[in-house]
Each structure stands twice: as structure tokens, then as C-alpha cells.
Structure 1
Amino acid sequence: MSTETDTDLFSDIDLGWEHLKNRLFLWVIFAASMFGVVMLALLLFDVATDFYVGLTEYNISLVDFFTRDGSRREELSGFRGAIVASIMLMVLVTILSFFVGVGSAIYLEEYAPDNRITRLIEANLANLAGVPSIVYGLLGLAAFVNGIGMGPILLAGSIALALLVMPIIIVSAQEALRSVPDGVRNGSYATGATKWQTIRRVVLPAAIPGIMTGTILALARAIGETAPLIMVGAVFINRMPYGPFDRFSAMPTTIYNWANEPSQHFIHLAAVGIVVLLTFLFVMNAVAMYIRHKYETEV
């Protein structure tokens, strides 16, 4: 009796239409994926074309480009100050965000009680990771540049970027700590180790590859951000910064300023700068992938 009922139930389903819907859905998601890939390829092709034209037709010397600072004169413009400023930014952002971010993740995962307040904090951290970057620039402008009178210096930009990447570092560090099996912790406790000894000698060494991967990817996002730096006043500066209290113009803001110039020479200078910035991004992402691959291979 039940067999006949099941047969009648499935006989009402048009399997041909179901297969057609599955194929249509597959093509839709494939087209959506290819749209992003094609747009990225076109963007890279356009940048590579402008880069090649700048080197051949506008005689942009890579040696001069890497050894000169910015200038209002197109034939004297270089990228040295912007590269140095971006490197100094990343060093300061790492110092300001890494230890606070990892410490916060350790507290939330290992010490904080599982209650409503902890869950509320974690939910807010996840939301902060998706806040537009210009909001952090406005915060840096109001609180640090104007609020306490720091002015548009490199330290103010570093604080704004550190606030931007800190939620990302905290969330990625939490995920890395969660990936460590509880059996490892319990085994450490069974040998008489304290909670802090277990975290420092057992949990953190196992989670460090994941923490480092998340941190590098967060810094790779920060190095390409333009809006927060513009908001804190990182406008065109034609000299190289020598400390955290100097005014600066990082790679993204220099490219932005060059792209706004009417001269085609500046447009091609911006293309060369984009290639340099993309190289930094690719290297940082490659390091993150290498750390992740090495960790997975060892596990």
C-alpha cells in the first residue's frame, strides 16, 4: 500500500523540469562567477596597457620612479616617499592592532564566560569587520586629527587603519583558536599545567599559523585603503616621511592624486604606481597562502 502511495507521489513531479531548473541555476552562478573574473581581467589589462605605454611612449624610468619623491612636475615625480610611507604605516598598524587583537581574541575564547554579554561583543565585532572604511577615516579625523590635535600625521593614519583591521584580526584569531581541539587543552591540564601555561605553550603555537594568515590578509586590505587616509589628511606630500609624526602620502593616496591630474603623463604614472601596489598585495597574499599551506601540510 505504501509503495503505491510513494509511486503516485513521485509521478506528479516533472523530473525534466527539475533537471532544467538545476542546469539554469548552475549557469546563473557560473555566469556570476565569470562576471567578476572577466571584470578583474579587463581591469588588469587596462592597467598593464597604461603601464606599458608609460614606459615606452612617455619614457617613465623605473629607476627614477623608485628613487624620487612626489612632485608637481610630471617629469620629476617619483614613488619613493609613498612606498616608504606605506611600509611605515604597515609597521605601525601591525604594532597597534596585532597584540590588542590577538589578546582580545584570547580573552573572548579562553577566559570570557559564555553569556549574553560575550555573545553581544562577538556579534558587534563581526559587524565592525564589515563597516565601510571611510567610517574609520571619519573617526580618525574627529577623534585624533582634530579631537586631540594630532594633525594629519602618519601616526593618525596608522591609528585609523589599525581600528579598521582590528576587528578582522580578532575574528580570524578567534577562528584559529577555535580550531585547536579541546583534547589538546585537556591533555595539557592533565599534566598539571595552568590555564595560562596551556594557552602560551600549547594553544597559541597551534593557532599561530591561522592567526598570522588572518593578520597578513587584514594588512593587505589596509595597505590598499584610500578613504581613511584621505579623511585624516594624507593629501599630496612631495617629500618622504622620516617618523610617525611627519606628514605623509601613502601609495593609494598618491595614485589617487595622480589619477585626478589632467595630464596623461600623470595617468601613466598612476598606472605604474598601481602595478607597484598590486605587487605588494600579491606578495602579502602569497605569504598568507604559503603559511596556510604549510600549516595544513604539517597537520
Structure 2
Amino acid sequence: MDISFIVILVLLGLATGFAAGLLGIGGGMILVPLFTLIFSARGFPPDHVVHIAIATSLATILFTSISSVRAHHKRGAVIWRIALLLVPGILVGSWIGPMIAARLNTAVLAGFFGIFVIFSAWKMLSKKKQAAGRQLPGQMGMSAAGAGIGTLSGMVGAGGGFISVPFMTWCNVPIHNAVATSAALGFPIALAGTLSNVYNGWSMSGLPAGSVGFVYLPAFAAVALASILTAPLGAKAAHALDVKQLKTVFAYVLFVLAAYMLWKAVRS
């Protein structure tokens, strides 16, 4: 692995960590398209390049979620009771999501991811507030909701915030508590999803050297370690900058990345 490749991965991790801290979002929607671009340029197998990108992105959340939830917990914003009710379903869903993704070809998976990112970017631009509709369901309902959040997160390599936050606010959870509690869900999503990606990719042939299942370890290590360094800086900058305008800019960046994934789907 040449030094230029390492430098690119470290810079990607630094940028992703800063964006995550600044805007309060996970790095999956940034990392997956850029991993796909970088891995394709490196000659990774076309049949598995998106699977590798999603799996490696999800694995990095193991580290970034810890620093995020610690910051929210210090402010007393995490509602652990809600998190614990969602976790059983999330663990099941996050295992199932990569299993589904592993059975999809590159074109379908890239297209699905592109559509998901377009929806997420649209939600960032939308000024309409989520209307609170009801109270949180019981254990069975929370487990079902967790399974849905985990399955979709596992399929696209994201931390689940764009699904879990709207769900909680719809159930009358205050927005700052919903965001903080969503951060606490990132680790179980990443843990179950990463183990599933390792299992489902274990017997696949033709994966690049340095892969454990679908997880490409060199990219995982470089990006995870670099993002940990800059996430606190992004969180600090969030208090000094106009985050609303930055989210608007970021949403349009997501549209560009989504367009690339849709183009990848058409070309595959």
C-alpha cells in the first residue's frame, strides 16, 4: 500500500471527523461514496466495491460513536431508557441489514444508497419541523422500530440518525434528547453490522488483501483514527459558526455524492 493512498485515507478521516463533530451527523453518507470512488480507482473488484465501502464505513462508527455519545452523556442529554428499549431490535436489524446487502449486486446496492442519501439531504434542507404524533410504543413496538432502524443502517453503512431522530421526535421526545439518544445507538448498530459484514464476506473470493470479510482494515484504521482527532474540533467549531448554513452546503454536497452513486449503479 503506497504512501499516497494512506495520505488520502487520513485526510478523508480528518474531514469526516470534523464534519461529524460540526454538523452532528455520522460519516457514512460521506464515506461510502468516497470509499467507493477511491476503492474503484485502486482496482478493487467491481462486484464487491460498494459492499466493501459500506462495511468499512460502518466499522469506523465503532470509534466515532464513542466520542460522540460521551459528549452528549456529559450534558445529560441521552435518554438511556429509550436507547435500551431500542437496542435489542437494533442488534437484530443491524445483523440482518448487511445480510440483505450481501445478496444485492453492486448496481442495486449503489442505487439504493444513492436514493437514501438524496432523501437524507432533502430532510436536511427541509424547514418543516417533525410533527409530534404520539408517545413511544411498548417493548414490542420499540423492538420493531429498532429492527427497522438497524436493518436500514446496516444496509447503507450509516449510524441511523436520519431514521431514529425523526422516529423519536414523532413520539414526543425533545429534539436535543433524540439526537443525543440516537448517538448512543451508533455503537450497537456498528458492532452488529460490522460483525455481520465480516461473516457475510468471509467466504467471498477476490477481496483485496487486508480485508476481513467485507471490511477493508487499512482504510478502517486510517479513517477511524484520524476522525477521532478532528471530531472534538468540529464540535467546538459548531458553537462559533453558523451551522444552519453549513448544513445547507453539506446537503448539496450529499446530492453530488448521491449522483455519483446513482451513476455507479447505472454503469455497473
Establish whether TM, by shorter chain, passes 0.5.
Answer: no
TM-score, normalising length from structure 2? Answer: 0.31
Larger Rg, first or second structure (1 or 2): 1
Q: Using CA pairs below 8 Å that are at least 6 residues apart, which structure has the higher relative contact order?
A: 2
| TM-score normalised over the length of structure 1 | 0.29
